[in-house]
Structure 1
Amino acid sequence: MTSPSPVRRAIDALRSDTVGGLLLIAAAAIALAWANSPAAPAYEALRSLEFGPESLHLHLPLQAWAADGLLAVFFFIVGNELKQEFVHGELRDPRRAMLPIAAAVCGMLLPAAIYAAVNWNSPATLGGWGIPMATDIAFALAVLAVVGRGLPPALRTFLLTLAVVDDLGAVLVIAVFYTDAIAPAPLAGALAGLALFGFLQRGRGAAAALNASRVPNWVVYLPLAAAVWTLMHAGGVHATIAGVAMGLLMRTGASATETASPSHRVEHLLRPVSAGIALPVFAFLSAGVAFDGIGPVLGDPAAVGIMAGLVAGKLAGILGGSWITTKVTSAHLNPALRWIDIAGVSLLAGIGFTVSLLITELSFTGSPQTLEHAKAGVLLASLTAGLLAAAVLGLRARQARHTP
């Protein structure tokens, strides 16, 4: 039997969360080092490079293409994986699905409240209350993959559900409180495109005709996905929502003529693209936050509120919200998990890079100094939360591996 080629082995390795996580973290570390080196202007020039058609409102900086475009591939996989869990996996039981959803809501409300309390007497910075609400799902899953070997798979599902609900809530907050205007016509077009996508997945006649034709499926679905993404972006909604929505619309059951469902086939195809290209490029272009000292940052109420919200607020909100939910509702914790596992995930949720930085940009456009301090606050909070989570989950993982 012929051994796989080096390219095939590399592609297969990229389907591992651990390999993808290490690439993501390495890309972020390189970006941070470059952004804080004498060559920082070159880094800024690179991620500020603009290209794309102006007529479609897509003349965007390279950083925006990575955050809105490449990241949509990752969010498609996340939505698709979540759909599989809701239909066939852990989240089929509403009592278990309820717990991470309630945890996500509490993990958004408490950090926002903590930020507002810290900045109550600072009207100039109070508008940044949405910054500590968001969890960076890509970085959180990467850290869990690297340190969590041996932990129950149910913990990843809990984090995945929590982070998706968190991101959807954060995007809703951006749309309502941090967006100047929503464009109804493009948004309606995006919804129509999603409806067509769902019909092609579930409409038996349409799906059968497409599968029976000589036209490859990607010839239909790829332009449709691009159109939905473009219209969502033009509508004023964060375009990664298009990826999540299409992932949730995927068909997870195989027909009589299929060897695997469309959901599993597409995930198998796209996961190496996400782990090997989309996430590392996104991290490289988004994680380069310049840091000019701890003193000015700790003296700015915006940065203090962000750090307190992301580290303490996420921990107390998610862990406390989960515990209370099990006491007042029929929701219950998966028997394979312990509350220390939920504490570790709660800390992981304090990694707030992507959407937190986006809301920071929207909150302090007229105050460059506050903007830089707030970005540094997001960086410090995310680093602190990630290290604390790695310590807790790493210890639990070692215990789990040595427990018979």
Structure 2
Amino acid sequence: MKRLLKWLAGLSVAAGVLAAVVWTLNIQDEVDVNAPVAAAAPSEQQIARGAYLARAGNCAGCHTAPGGADYAGGKGIPTPFGTVFTSNLTPDDKTGIGSWSPAHFWRAMHNGRSKDGRLLYPAFPYTNYTQVTREDSDALFAYLGSLPPVVQPNQPHGLQFPFQSQAALAVWRALYFRPGVFEADTRQSMEWNRGAYLVQGLGHCSACHSARNALGATTQGLNLAGGLIPMQNWYAPSLSSPQEAGVAGWREADIVSLLQHGVSPQASVAGPMAEVVLRSTQHLSASDLGAMAKYLQQLPGTPVATAPQPAAAKVTPGTAAKGAKLYEQHCAQCHGASGEGVPKAYPALAGNRAVTMTQTVNLVQIVLAGGYAPATEGNPRPFGMPPFVLVMNDEDIATVLTHIRNAWGNQASEVTPIEVNRIRANSAR
């Protein structure tokens, strides 16, 4: 009995220590929302800057439900743990942020806490936004405060047990979140630092372009090494790998073109990145796009000369002939008999690293659902690819993609019908 009591006492002490550690980590660098601040009406310049920053962060992309009022929230964000519904950011006093102060908003951005101190779920990417400066946070708040107020109560999240609890979220934050404003690298230029600030902070590029663990945390911080986007069935390629989406060897103007127009001589955007260009990056200034390009050019990566080459698929002559026939029937009219493509219209498939990279999910998605670049000022009438979801079965799609990945000098692993079926099933949910 005494031994049991000692064991229970030790367990209680350990639990208390753990709780204290979690609590301490969750109040690190906490914003004092009650500190007196001189009140001043936002200037037109500050509001305009906030509008620009909201586009840089693509805030409307999440905080506007389909068919709903701008920034009024209510959009469901599916996660592996359930659905998170975005909040109303309009200045309504009851259902929006009309009763918030700039300090409350800064705490949400910097610490991931709501006005009442409640911990926010990282579907709101405060793990990136914590790097945003107080000046930019105040400008964003000024812009949101200038919007028409919309009465729309926030919808409760639909999260599974135990992920719906504040206690579980506090533990997650203790493990994976540390607040901290962006610190410039004195070894780099002002332009590079501006690019780093936009990419790492408001742009929250690592939210998609980094792998995540079983608890939804990015496994390697902000390294942009690529990762599957949870629940969307798209792969955000590595921005540092020469075999995926690294741009170290690109001209700066071509990187800017891709971010601004959705197309460049080397590539075009599709899927989730098309929405980013449509709603966000096409609206950024030339100087900010150039800064982002400069930063992306200098990401550490594997030199092209030493990058491992993918193994070619081993396919039977019959399968190879079937793949070539399917390509001739469905693809050659646009992409060319030898995968050469049509400049400014249809991308070349020969020598295209988006075709040969290890992850094949994007290829399957584009064949199933079609591929569309965004309409931008520099590319107002983009060419698109129709969906083949009702035209080809899983085996046909796997066969033609394996052919494309190994024709005209391409070399990559095969795509299997099981892979196609899994993506088709997941996309139909």
TM range (shorter): under 0.3
| Greater length-normalized contact order (CA 8 Å, ≥ 6 residues apart) | 1
TM-score normalized by the length of structure 2: 0.25
Larger radius of gyration: 2
